[in-house]
Amino acid sequence: MGPVLNANILENEMFDEWKGKRVLITGASRGIGAAVARQLGALGARVAVHYHASAGPAETVAQAVRDAGGEAFTLQGDVSRSSEAQRLVDEAAERLGGLDLLINNAGDMLGRVALGDMDDEQYDRVMDLNARSVVMASRAALPHFRRAGRGNIIHTTSIAARNGGGPGAGLYASAKGFVSTLTHSMAKELAGEGIRVNGVAPGTIATDFHERHSNEAQLTAARASIPMGRLGSAEECVGAYVFLGTDTMSGYVTGQVIEVNGGQLMP
């Protein structure tokens, strides 16, 4: 676990808007989602920590949010299923008393599979988790945002959306490309309702994602392609989410995807 933002920054009145802000983060039991949740807790947010199968780690994250000064509870659900995504968002909004920010962070490669070895089941699993979940959770959030007259959505996409990903990651990369394009189209569609939509595209980040899906040779090659010469950490991605979630900092920012990759990709 890395440090939260500098205490002097947290005391800045610009961040006062986070106190009591109602946030749902999907896929928040580990990695980047967990790091974002902990930081938002330090800012005073009220956070619904979603998980699919990792109940213990999710509760650890929720407790870290509470320890940092925020409020938190956990919610279980399989966001790859439309009905579950709908239920999750509605339950989070009910328990929070509304919704100010949805962070669509749930996603996974679900294994490296070459095109020739791909079957319908693999296609459905990857696309449902990484693409369907974003569409359906966002759709479910709209009535809650509309009642409030405003809202904010941040999608987690990936450097793979631009560079096609590594070996066997083509389907995952394509799903993330879908998410990046969806960010732009949703931003155009919803701007008139006071709803901002942006994305964060992490590069090669040292989380259990790569422990599960990348070998040492692949990570060594990735390091060699990064001008900063190292992999990033989950905590180093957090600032982009805080910026996009802080209306006083990014109120005129929508339809953008912030790349966080140590210079690995410079679009």
- Is 241 annotated as catalytic? no
* pTM of the predicted protein model: 0.93
Matching residue, tokens 């974003």 = 134
Rounded distance between C-alpha atoms, residue 63 and residue 44, angstroms: 13
Kindly give the confidence (pLDDT) of every residue in the chain, 267 residues in length, as a single tens digit, with 9 standing for 90 and above. Answer: 445 555 455 556 778 999 999 999 999 999 999 999 999 999 999 999 999 999 999 999 999 999 999 999 999 999 999 999 999 999 999 999 999 999 999 999 999 999 999 999 999 999 999 999 999 999 999 999 999 999 999 999 999 999 999 899 999 999 999 999 999 999 999 999 999 999 999 999 987 776 676 778 888 888 999 999 999 999 999 999 999 999 999 999 999 999 999 999 998
Residue with tokens 């809650």: 144
Q: What is the structure's pLDDT at 5?
A: 55
pLDDT at 1: 47
Which listed residue (51, 123, 172, 241) is catalytic? 172
Torsion of CA 144, 146, 147, 153, to 10 degrees: 40
What is the number of other CB atoms lying within 10 angstroms of the CB of residue 217? 8
Cα-atom radius of gyration of the chain, to the nearest Å? 17
* pLDDT for residue 215: 79
